[in-house]
Structure 1
Amino acid sequence: MADRKPCKVCNFTRQKSYGLAVPSLNELKQKGCEFLGYNPGDPVTLVLENDGTIVEDQSYFLCLPTNTKFMLLQEKETWSPARTFEGGTVWMARDSMVLEADAVDASSAPFWYLAQQLKQDLASIILMSEADLQSLVDAPCPELASALGFPEKKAADLQETLQSVLDRREEERQSRELLQLYIQAVEKEDRQQEQLNQPTRGGAVDVDVLDGLEVDSASGFMRRTLMVLKGKTSPETRLSTEDLQAVVTKGVAAMERVLGWDKARTSVLVQACEAELETRLQKILAVHSIRSSTQPDRSSQQPSEQSKEEGDEMPAQGSD
């Protein structure tokens, strides 16, 4: 009896996996069909689970290391890499998904498997990262509708819902950032007040602590900011004031290189950011104006107090 090679076999959803010890490639296919519940008469294709390489040669099979994991594919099934989601690795359940001959190629449509996940459970939206949601929002509506099996109108409504989820997450993030900026501003104002009451020691300089957010080295923007800039719905309203200032300062030519857009589209975005920045600055000036009008004018009180003191001294001078 030939030596038996220990190996593993799984179905294309990776939900079923078995360990086998077989002497040949043909017996691996037979045993694999038996364990996975496939019809013995149906044609199957054996591939490597990790990269999808088709294994048809007995010599190649024998050269593979022990405990190699294979995947048995039935007709109309195709290999795909395992997806990794935030919080851990999750194998996508695709029992109900059968690929037709004219199915979308996953390598050219990265949103396709995300669409399949939504097709099975719309609640999985809450587990998706912002990059995944943006991928679905940016997907061509007809192709997304085809992947979901939805009418185009329903797919467009879904994209609007996903954009709303992105906008809500961005609003929550901006609210946290504004709160942090407010706390930092209050603390800085307290430090400045203390410094006014104390002499400067050795010219000490305050150094702002970096917030640790990931920055794209090529553009100088935070990666989250780049994602917001490429969003479809009024990205200028979702940016911080500092980010708006950075976009306006860089100008159209620099932002063309950063975003990879044409000049016309980039110019529209920069103009929108400039208008939003101007609106915010006007609001800040209005707040400062209201604050200054409600505070007492100490400078106008000082001369009157000084004249009162001089008036008190006048009789003393006359008595001499």
Structure 2
Amino acid sequence: MTDRKPCRVCNFTRQKSYGLVVPSLDELKTKGSESLGFSSAESVSVVLEDDGTIVEDQAYFLCLPLNTKFMLLHKKESWSPVRRMDGGTAWMARDSMVLDADTVDASSAAAPWWSLAQQLKQDLASIILMSETELQTLVDAPCPDLAFALGFQEKKAEDLQQTLQGVLDRREEERQSKELLQLYLKAAEKEEGQQKESSQASQEGAAEVEVDGMEVDSASGFISRTLMVLKGKTSPETRLSTEDLQMVVTRGVEAMEQVLGWDRTRTSALLQACEAELTGRLQQVQAVQSIRSNAQLDSSVHSAEEAAKTPAQGSN
């Protein structure tokens, strides 16, 4: 017959502790649950009280020294190390829902993140309703203290903070995408207006060689208004339509020297400015098109996921 082994058991708050003499690990679970007031229908796991090592093997149980202290845990409970304050004279115990006010560090309880941690402890889904400021407060909280407040192991609390930071990062990306889209729409409206003006001027020039003093240069193919803009002194490239910019860049330095009557250096500088402006506009359009494509893809994926989650309607 297996020798009976003296040992001690406690619950996960360490507020209850009992001495037992049992011959096996199964007997430890049975008698320990009875002593701690656990329901016989609930399964329990056994860990070493001092370091949280899981004890599942009968042979390992028998190898442990006499009077080893074990902790019995329910399914949703987890081991955590002992925390002390006041030089070790007061033990900080944690309950499944409410912390004893006498054992809570006053500085922690007064911290802004403490009340938020208590909300999460009661309902983790309350994260959805938290503002960005509240989420950032939880991210900035000391990880060991947050773990203690939530009743988590420190690694789990660290994972939670990383998840919250990811939520904040995604919200910031969404905000920047919206701002970029607004800038694109404004630029598109402005460019559309410039193109309409250019088209109207071209149509009027085709019907009449001279309209309000604006003539078409048959040699260059540019409307006189465009030539006036090109010869302007203050950033002429920003006042041209995309179509005009493409025409200027395509003509090249030599052709534009003859059109403008300038020297090579001045003409080259103008063409470089026009090319940079054209490149910037095209990059902006490509960026917004990419945003729209991603948004459409995300919408399609979301719709597919929602459709997959919806159960098929069957007949009764």
TM-score > 0.5, shorter chain as reference: no
**Higher-Rg member (1/2):** 2
- TM-score normalized by structure 1? 0.35
- TM-score normalized by structure 2? 0.35
More helix by share: 2
